[in-house]
A and B are shown apart, each in its own frame.
Chain A
Amino acid sequence: MKKTGAQIIMESLIQEGVEVMFGFPGGYILPFYDTLPQYPQLRHILVRHEQGAAHAADGYARATGKVGVCVATSGPGATNLVTGIANAYMDSVPVVAFTGQATRAFIGKDAFQEIDISGITLPITKHSYVAMDTATLARTVKEAFYIARTGRPGPVLIDLPRDVQLDQAEFSYPDRVNLPGYKIPTKGHPTQLKNAAKLINEAQQPLIIAGRGVVISGAFEELKQLAETAQIPVITTLLGIGCFPENHVLSYGMAGMHGSGYANKALDNTDLLIAIGMRFDDRVTGKISAFAPHAKIVHIDLDPAEIGKNVPVHVPIVGDVKAVLQAMQKMIESTQHIDWIKRLEGWRKQHPMTEIRDHSGLLPQYIIRQLYEATGGEAVVVTGVGQHQMWTAQHYLFHEPHTFISSGGLGTMGFGLPAAMGAKVGRPDKTVWCVDGDGSIQMTIQELATLVQDKIAVKIAVINNGYLGMVRQWQELFYERRYIATPISCPDFVRIAEAYCIAGRRVTQREEVRPAIEQAMAHDGPFLIDFKVEPEENVFPMVPPGAAVGEFIEFPKKEVSTWPRRSTP
């Protein structure tokens, strides 16, 4: 039996296991929307701005490991997706975006709401399609999902002219794809595996730096086994957070610009850096010529183009992280690195992560720590971009993968709320916290309405300091405190929440922090806490731009103590 293009898409989505999509309708995507009621198993969540749809699909994908789906109409609907697609591209997140398009005959004629979205998104998609034929639509959807989720994941866009959605064709879903130009490396070269194992077995001061590739590959057990067998300390990138339990005795936290002093010291001193599923971003390496100066580097990554892109490596291994680590298991000898770990522990004492100073004001670090304790580290925490993001990365201990969700590569302010929405839809069983800044949340605050309409119980902690704090920090440190365009006025967030029918409360005192968090979690539904924090608090440690990671600036005040970061032996 023949089906319309829109029906073919729905059938294909069901074949791909899609349960939910985030979108916003409009003229040229109407046939798609009109078909939705025929497929009640497909849930559609109406966002308030298409950027929210793309971020929600992104958050959903990161929380579940599945492909996130977003939908927009042509023209402005499609262009509003762009930031979200770019964000997913930079952080290798599997997202499929459907955009409406003018009827085929109108394409290229500057018709109403007709824009070349596949052209616009060319450099920020893993692949894209302009579906010009209803008969090949099923194959297009099949390929799009396959490309989005396999290899190094990424966003794929399908542009759907209105008449292609309406035309009819026979539907049969292909069971395989034929993509001769699409290569997925798998196992890693045996010789390089041997070379890597030899270096690991001989190293005196080895260090693992793990990134999002470990999360994507699902190689947590393999990573843990490697670290434990050879007693190798583990540090992570921002997006690697959660791929190794941060309460593990061998965990030394996050490295890089706002990484822990001891993680960066370890980078400075290691003689063998085992980089797993990470891409040597400049926020991790600092000054590239001074990065890991004493180390040989083993780089394991699925993407051959990442090998040697930023940092020359001694042993390149192109392959799936999980498969590579499994293949290496038998070659790794059980060893101890007592002296090396002693040195790391020394640095841990010397450069502790900042604790809460004696201060009359409310410190954001304290809030994050209370959030960790109140949730037992069990929540999914989604952040916006800015100081609050770094404080969350530093002061919440993530025990599991997929529980820390943040915009790394693109650094997209406004990511937090819609991504948290997507995460909660994907993981209704989990408490989902959105930790956001007063600047960041105002970029996508309209999604509060989506939380209400679709009953998505996200808990929101606004770290409100009245500044675009991260930029202000740079102005304070590098622009002689000239606070240009960083003081930001805010609405009364509690009243804003109330106007959206969301419960909330304001917190100004330290004693209120824990009760407020408990109240939010006990509340049935979304909840917003407006934390009025110390306005000029800075994120430390910090590696100044252009400096080597070992040259981090520490908290200038002395009254700091160590936060015991370890629980399991």
Chain B
Amino acid sequence: MATTKHTIVALVEDKPGVLNRVASLFRRRGFNIESIAVGHSEVAHLSRMTIIVNGTTATVEQVRKQLDKLIDVVRVSDITGENITVRELALIKVKAGSATRSEIIEIADIFRGNIVDVASDSLTVEITGDEDKIESMLKLLRGFGIKEIARTGRVAMVRGAIGAPAPEEKVARSHTKK
């Protein structure tokens, strides 16, 4: 079966050890996380994780279900097939002397990047976009010599009103002892 890149979005309780639980589960089930980005969500006490993982649809579905079983995971969905916006931010430190500096700035402009730091022998470019955009820019900058790259990993969101139910619904459905 063909493996494809899947984008999994999880809303998790903002508690110590949650990232460990999620990462441990991926390791346990033999999955390599390509990228993971974690930050606050729109709901207090809930964090949002965007996880990019390679696998067949069946195995990724298995991991989604296993993730959903974690008590601290409130909601998890595989949004791969959906109409989604995906963004990643990269900081790229490029070798730059007086001869190449303006050319690099021009490339950054084309990609709507920002120059966030200038030194005598380097420039740091900040760029936001999907994976393809960042890869294309890197391809162009490699010729100048790249000193350092820092990438955030992707974050993703379904466009418009489509999406899973609001987390409040789930919160309301709390469990009581019979």
Contacts and interface: CB of A to CB of B under 8 A. Distances in A.
Interface stretch (B66-74, B103-111, B115-123, B153-161): B66-74
Contact of A122 (B20, B61, B71, B177): B20
A181 B74 contact: yes
Contacts of B101: none
Interface in A100-130: 118-119, 122-123, 126-127, 130
A179 B176 contact: no
Interface of A is mostly: loop
Given A119-B20, A181-B74, A175 B68 contact: no
Interface stretch (B34-42, B133-141, B144-152, B167-175): B167-175
A182 B174 CA distance: 8
A5 to B, nearest CB: 19
Contacts of B21: 122
A181 B58 contact: no
Given A118-B17, A119-B20, A122-B20, A179 B177 contact: no
Given A119-B20, A122-B24, A123-B24, A179 B66 contact: no
Contacts of A183: 68
B71 A181 contact: yes
B28 A175 contact: no
B65 A182 contact: no
A127 B62 contact: no
Interface string A168-182: 000000011111111
Given A147-B71, A180-B74, A181-B12, A123 B28 contact: yes
A304 B65 contact: yes
B174 to A, nearest CB: 4
A180 B13 CA distance: 9
Contacts of A303: 69
Interface in A297-325: 303-305, 308-309
Interface residues of A, number: 25
B73 A175 contact: no
B171 A180 contact: yes
A180 B66 contact: no
Contact of A146 (B13, B17, B171, B177): B177
Given A122-B21, A122-B24, A309-B62, A127 B71 contact: yes
B68 A308 contact: no
A184 interface: yes
Given A146-B175, A150-B175, A175-B177, A180 B20 contact: no
Given A119-B20, A123-B28, A305-B65, A177 B177 contact: yes
Contacts of B58: 308
B140 to A, nearest CB: 43
A308 B167 CA distance: 27
Contact of B174 (A126, A150, A179): A179
Interface string B17-34: 100110011001000000
Given A122-B20, A123-B24, A183-B68, A178 B62 contact: no
A304 B65 CA distance: 7
A150 B176 CA distance: 11
Given A146-B175, A150-B175, A182 B62 contact: no
B19 to A, nearest CB: 12
Contact of A181 (B13, B28, B177): B13
A211 to B, nearest CB: 18
Contacts of A175: 176-177
Contacts of B20: 119, 122
A147 B177 CA distance: 11
7 shortest A-B CB distances, which residue pairs?
A: A305-B65, A176-B176, A181-B74, A180-B171, A178-B174, A127-B71, A123-B28
Given A177-B175, A180-B74, A308-B62, 9 more contacts: A126-B71, A130-B16, A146-B175, A147-B71, A177-B174, A181-B70, A303-B69, A304-B65, A304-B68
Interface of B: 12-13, 16-17, 20-21, 24-25, 28, 58, 61-62, 65-66, 68-75, 167, 170-171, 173-177
26 contacts: A119-B20, A122-B20, A126-B71, A130-B16, A130-B17, A175-B176, A175-B177, A176-B176, A177-B175, A178-B171, A178-B174, A179-B71, A179-B175, A180-B13, A180-B74, A180-B167, A181-B13, A181-B70, A181-B71, A181-B74, A181-B75, A184-B175, A305-B62, A305-B65, A305-B66, A308-B62
